[in-house]
Every structure is written in C-alpha cells, then in structure tokens.
Amino acid sequence: MPLVLALERAWNEAWADPDFHAELDGRLASYVGRPSPLYFAARLSEHHRARVWLKREELNHTGSHKINNCMGQILLARRMGKERIIAETGAGQHGVATATACALFGLPCVVYMGAVDVARQAPNVQRMRLLGAEVRPVSSGSATLKDAMNEAMRDWVANVEDTYYLIGSVAGPHPYPVMVRDLQSVIGREARAQIVDAEGRLPDALAACVGGGSNAMGLFHPFLNDDGVRLFGVEAAGEGMATGRHAAALNGGRPGVLHGSHSYLLQDADGQVTEAHSISAGLDYPGIGPEHAFLKDAGRARYLTATDEEALAAFALLARLEGILPALESAHALARLDAIASEVGPDGIIVLNLSGRGDKDLDQVAERLRLIP
C-alpha cells in the first residue's frame, strides 16, 4: 500500500501542474502525432446505414492508443525520480509503447508478457527487443495478460525503491484506473471537438472495444455528462458466450477482486479466477476496469459482445471497404456496428475508436481467414 499511496500523491501533484501538462501536450503533438484524425468512413457508413466516424488512434506512433498513457506515466516516473520501468503487456501494444517511451528517455525497461502471447504476437516482441526492452515471458497460470500482471506486481514490490510500474489499462489498484483514464481522455476530448466541428452536433453513439477498457474509457469519459450520447463497449465473446470460452467479464462474469480492483471478473463458483479466451491477446483479460463496472451498473454504458469470427469478418470488411487494417481488438467494436447502426438509424452519427492497427495480427488473421469461406 505505501507505494500506491505515494503514487497517488505524485499523480495528483503532476496532474495539477501546468508544467506537466505543457510537457505532455508537447510530446503528444511532436512525438506521438496528436491530434489523431477523425475520419468519415463513407463506404463503411453506406454498408451499415449510419454515419460512421473513425477516431484514428491506430495512426499514433507505435500504432495504438497505448502511447497516450505511456507518455504521461513516463513523465510521472521521471518526476518521481524512478530509474527503472516495468510493464505488463497482452497484445504487445502497451509493451511496445512502454519500450518506446523508455528508449526516448533512456530508461531501462522490463516487459512481462504471457508465454502464450509471446508466441502469438511475435512481431511486437521483436519490436520491444529492438527498442532495448527486456521481454520476460511468464508461463505461470494461463500464461496470458493476467499472469503477466501478477509477475509485474511481484517485481514491483521487490524493487520498490527504484522501479516504476507502468500499467497499461484502467485496471489494477487505485490510482491506476483514474490515472490511465485521465491520460487516455485526450481521445474523447479531441473526438468531441472534431465531431462538433464536422457534423455540427454531438454523436448519437460511441463505440469501442473493451478488454481492460482503456481506449473505451478514454473515448467515453469526456461524453459522460452528454445524456444523448449512447456509449457502447464491445467485449470479446471468444468462441461464443455459450461455450464459456470468452473474455467478457461484464457479460459473463460477476463482481470480484483481482489486482487491487473490485469489478466484474471471470471466476468459478469458488472465487478462483478463470482463464479468458479471445483471438485478440489485448482483450484476453478476465477482469475489467472498475469504472466500466460502474457505468454498466449505473446504466450509462451498454456492453455488447463480438466473437472471434465476427471480429475476423469485421477486420476483413474494414480492409476492403476503407483500406485500413484494424487491430483484432478494435475489430470487435467494428463487428457490433451492425447493432449500433440499426439503433441510431441512417442519420445517426457513430464515433468508433479505431484503437490500434492490425499489422501485428497479420499472421493470425491470414491463417484464420482461410478457414472462413
């Protein structure tokens, strides 16, 4: 506890400090490439019969929204005088973003990654190593994201003095869910201004995939008080909700405690955490950020699901219609545009967070798409 309490103090000071914001905004503009475009996807809109806008987070440096959070936390780590950075990663997007930020500031970086994910996200493992990070495969438990997080926490408590733990999602102990949300909210702030500029009004719906939930939280947060804006998160249904092999904590789990958060959790009757299943390594987490649990229970956001196959089909569709390869994570949100579009109607405006690009998934997608006629 003393270490998370110290982190909370440091974060509150930094977030209230104009100098911190000035440096962060400067880095986001010149290094990350913000603001990211809001793009009207005309052919996708025609296909779904609604006005679909894509928030192009996949165009950020390193290819996903993860760098927004890493840039903020690395500046915080420097303020705190920490000399070593550790992180967990699922798909490798957060690991790559962390390794990138560490290279930028000359800090040593250790990334914990489930051994299963190391195998299925090989390009990102190579990227991290090229960036100078040490990738430590974790083979305990299900050898995926939650186990990587367990191992990162073990490292952190053993190296409290000099180490900063850079968590990549709105999960984990307080203040991480708040801190990561605030850092990712740049997505929603930009999107809000951009859509008002382009369409002259707020959107009817927002859509984003949720694993831990950071890209969704970043998009949703600046719109929470806009009652007319419907919020849709899309969880990974894996092989299908009925099979039990999924990663949908909000739709298929119940409240529990893991990694310092009280939220929905995939678990058995005895409270043992069960393995999540998804084709997308970035959604393969049995928990969900606690603020999403709150938004669900409060009825403010709705959480849908998309299966592996639906995500693959959505991946292929976006490639053909718009010339964009989405990350498999983001493809889950794209897959539910059908339901969201029919709810908002042909004049309805949807802003979907295209949180990452699909280059890292090419091998897996190519292999699986051959199986689909």
Residues designated catalytic:
66, 88, 355
CB nearer to another protein: give 164 or 232: 164
CB of 156 to another protein, least distance (A): 10
- Do residues 94 and 33 lie in contact, with contact meaning Cβ atoms separated by under 8 Å? no
- Do residues 281 and 123 lie in contact, with contact meaning Cβ atoms separated by under 8 Å? no
x/- binding map, residues 122-151, to another protein, per CB under 8 A?
A: ------------------xx----xx--x-
CB of 105 to another protein, least distance (A): 25
Does residue 154 bind another protein (CB under 8 A)?
Answer: yes
CB of 229 to another protein, least distance (A): 33
How many residues sit close enough to another protein to count as binding (CB under 8 A)?
31
d(CA 101, CA 99): 6
d(CA 123, CA 51): 34
d(CA 164, CA 365): 35
Give the residue from 359, 351, 349 showing the smallest Cα distance to 329: 359
β partners of residue 204: none
Among 22, 29, 119, 257, binds another protein (CB under 8 A): 257
CB nearer to another protein: give 157 or 369: 157
Does residue 119 bind another protein (CB under 8 A)?
Answer: no
Within residues 263-292, the interface with another protein by CB under 8 A covers 265, 267, 269-274
CB of 332 to another protein, least distance (A): 25
Tell me the CA distances in angstroms from 56 to 39, 88, 330, one per residue in order: 7, 24, 11
d(CA 143, CA 141): 5
CB nearer to another protein: give 257 or 369: 257
Does residue 51 bind another protein (CB under 8 A)?
Answer: no
Does residue 256 bind another protein (CB under 8 A)?
Answer: yes
CB nearer to another protein: give 155 or 239: 155
- Do residues 166 and 87 lie in contact, with contact meaning Cβ atoms separated by under 8 Å? yes
Does residue 160 bind another protein (CB under 8 A)?
Answer: yes
Does residue 120 bind another protein (CB under 8 A)?
Answer: no
- Do residues 240 and 265 lie in contact, with contact meaning Cβ atoms separated by under 8 Å? no
What number of other Cβ atoms are within 10 A of residue 262's Cβ? 12
Bridge-based pairing state of the strands 349-353 and 51-55: parallel
Task: Note the residues at the interface with another protein (CB under 8 A).
Answer: 1-3, 5, 140-141, 146-147, 150, 153-154, 157-161, 255-260, 262, 265, 267, 269-274
